[in-house]
């Protein structure tokens, strides 16, 4: 990979906030998200249209969205959905460019996360994709438990290819492999990406990696050297999926990723002052 190839950095405050134990006031979310919009990320995964009973922290997503200063940024907005109703709500907003759907290749986790079977979820993916096509949106499918799972469900390269192929056949062009509970080793990350990227050259594959302070760089190295150019992260490495297990596994730390890529001559267009202020706000919110 050369510096000429563009890296897409997706900042995921939604993933950082969704499992936070105390409700973050709406006005604080708005202030934080507007600051992140000034940094220059490719995409901001800002909120989700899901049941407030399941994810209480995201109950104010619509109110937050109405106060975001999207006219002042080139950063695109992504919202996560988990059912038909949530997708319809998200698609109705002009400000939202991407609809993200967590499709688990672990049957156990699909049931835990969206209360549906894999086949039911794939039917929903097809319906959301049609709705996105009709309304000028792009569906981003997250293959969660994309590197294995802790439940003993079958996982291998054939299963990964099976579901990637199914998504591609539906016209989906952005697929992100999610290391939902942080189980992936660098070798597994390399193997998965090197299996998929050459097979589907028209698809943009990304990674949503969960990591710790000790293994983030090895995981990032594995993804980058395997040809991945789309990376999810969260400031301070906060977050994880509250539906996956009791203890949240941290996200890939955005600030560390930025330094990693800037050392390679990438991501040099980011607003440093806005990033510093975002970091300060993150430290204030997540304490």
Q: Where are the domains of the chain?
A: 8-286
Task: Tokens for 75, please give them.
Answer: 């950063």
Please state the φ and ψ torsions of residue 205, each to the nearest 5 degrees.
-95, 135
Task: Tokens for 258, please give them.
Answer: 């930025």
* CATH ID of 8-286, from 3.40.50.1820, 2.60.120.40, 3.40.50.740, 3.20.20.70: 3.20.20.70
Nearest to 97 by CA among 78, 83, 80: 78
Q: What is this structure's pTM?
A: 0.94
Task: Tokens for 101, please give them.
Answer: 């759907």
Per-residue pLDDT tens digits for 193-244: 999 999 999 999 999 998 888 899 999 999 999 999 999 999 999 976 545 4
Buried b (16+ CB within 10 A) or exposed e, 2-31: eeeeebbbbbbbbbbbbbeeeebeeeebbe
Query: What is the C-alpha separation between 170 and 127, in angstroms, rounded?
Result: 10
Task: Tokens for 124, please give them.
Answer: 């929903």
Per-residue pLDDT tens digits for 247-261: 556 899 999 999 999
């Amino acid at each position: 990979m050369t510096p000429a190839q563009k890296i897409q950095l997706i900042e995921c405050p939604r993933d950082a906030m969704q499992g936070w134990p105390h409700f973050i006031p709406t006005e604080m979310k708005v202030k934080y998200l507007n600051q992140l919009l000034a940094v220059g990320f490719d995409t901001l995964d800002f909120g989700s249209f899901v049941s407030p009973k399941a994810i209480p922290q995201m109950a104010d997503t619509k109110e937050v969205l109405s106060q975001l200063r999207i006219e002042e940024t080139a950063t695109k907005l992504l919202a996560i959905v988990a059912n038909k109703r949530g997708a319809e709500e998200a698609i109705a907003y002009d400000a939202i460019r991407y609809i993200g759907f967590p499709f688990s290749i672990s049957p156990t986790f699909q049931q835990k996360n969206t209360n549906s079977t894999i086949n039911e979820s794939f039917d929903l993916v097809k319906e959301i994709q049609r709705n996105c096509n009709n309304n000028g949106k792009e569906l981003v499918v997250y293959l969660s438990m994309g590197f294995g799972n802790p439940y003993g469900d079958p996982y291998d390269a054939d299963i990964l290819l099976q579901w990637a192929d199914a998504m591609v056949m539906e016209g989906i062009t952005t697929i992100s492999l999610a290391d939902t509970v942080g189980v992936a080793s660098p070798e597994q990350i390399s193997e998965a990406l090197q299996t998929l990227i050459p097979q589907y050259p028209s698809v943009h594959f990304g990674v949503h990696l969960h990591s710790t302070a000790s293994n983030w760089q090895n995981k990032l190295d594995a993804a980058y050297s395997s040809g991945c150019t789309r990376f999810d992260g969260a400031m301070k490495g906060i977050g994880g999926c509250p539906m996956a297990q009791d203890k949240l596994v941290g996200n890939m730390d955005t600030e560390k990723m930025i330094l990693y890529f800037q050392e390679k001559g990438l991501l040099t267009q980011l607003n440093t002052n806005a990033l510093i202020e975002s970091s300060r706000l993150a430290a204030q919110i997540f304490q």
